[in-house]
Homo-oligomer: A and B are copies of this chain.
């Protein structure tokens, strides 16, 4: 194999109460990454479409991730890297995680699959850490492995995947303002009262049980957050109005996606979500802000060869 092209899905992290813990992959949005073997030992970012990304291989998430994989394998295989982004970095949909996941997934295939899929997580995390200044398995894991992933522990890294209702639809709402993950991180409190923490894990538990049992009523109560939403919602234009609108249209859960500004709403059907989209589009037109609305499912697949 001389060349490979893969799709690495975007993802929604936190999902209400699961700060740094929950994340799920979505459909259509993501990175298309093409790798081609080189005869020298260089990693070269040939082209980056859809965003202004660094082309220095030491500063590009994809090449940093590939390099850590190559180092582990003691390989000096050179590669040309072509990245096409189908969504904007800084949107809160795990842009750097998609690039890092897609890059290591593609590189591992190009090298003849020396490593298992789960093992690739370590190297994708190295790439992701470059962008967000910390390790975020909650975006990388769903982008690489698909579905709804839960981080049980960071040290050592241990994850599991929960089932999700097949009928569940996700409306992504991305008002076109940029929020840097590092800036949004700075707002998060360092400490939490045990009372608040306890309420948060009540909701963590409820969300997992609701996904297992397809209990939409419980789900609608469980998607709450005491960590990030209270401080980050101020960065997102029209946050309160958008939230109320989705709930008025029957959303069974609404919150910020990752560090924002994207928001997500769970719906039991496409119809309710579509009616809601029209309303939200008009809302942002009134304030002259472009908005991307994307109706999707929880994507059971992670990275896929195209």
- A contact residues vs B (CB 8 Å cutoff): 17-22, 150-154, 158, 160, 162, 188-194, 197-209, 212, 215, 218, 221-222, 227
Contacts and interface: CB of A to CB of B under 8 A. Distances in A.
Contact of A205 (B191, B194, B208, B221): B208
B221 A158 contact: yes
A18 B204 CA distance: 11
Q: Which of A189, A209, A218 has the most CB of B within 10 A?
A: A209
Contact of A221 (B153, B199, B222): B153
Contact of A190 (B189, B193, B207): B193
B204 A201 contact: yes
Nearest to A191: B191
B19 A203 contact: no
**Assembly stoichiometry (copies):** 2
B152 A222 contact: yes
A202 B141 CA distance: 15
Contacts of A200: 197, 201
Q: Which of A22, A188, A194, A202 has the most CB of B within 10 A?
A: A202
A158 to B, nearest CB: 7
Q: Which of A154, A160, A205 has the most CB of B within 10 A?
A: A205
Ranked nearest first, the 8 interchain pairs of A and B with the lowest CB-CB distance are: A201-B201, A197-B197, A201-B204, A152-B206, A152-B202, A212-B212, A191-B191, A208-B208
Given A150-B206, A191-B194, A192-B193, 13 more contacts: A19-B194, A20-B198, A21-B198, A150-B205, A152-B202, A152-B203, A152-B218, A160-B218, A191-B192, A192-B197, A204-B204, A205-B207, A208-B209
A190 B201 contact: no
A17 B194 CA distance: 12
A47 to B, nearest CB: 38
A215 B159 CA distance: 13
A241 to B, nearest CB: 25
Nearest to A188: B194
A191 to B, nearest CB: 5
Contacts of A199: 153-154
A202 B162 contact: no
A16 B295 CA distance: 39
Q: Which of A17, A18, A153, A218 has the most CB of B within 10 A?
A: A153
B19 A202 contact: no
Nearest to A154: B199
Contacts of A190: 193-194
A194 B202 contact: no
A205 to B, nearest CB: 5
A165 B204 CA distance: 21
Contact of A202 (B153, B206, B207, B227): B153
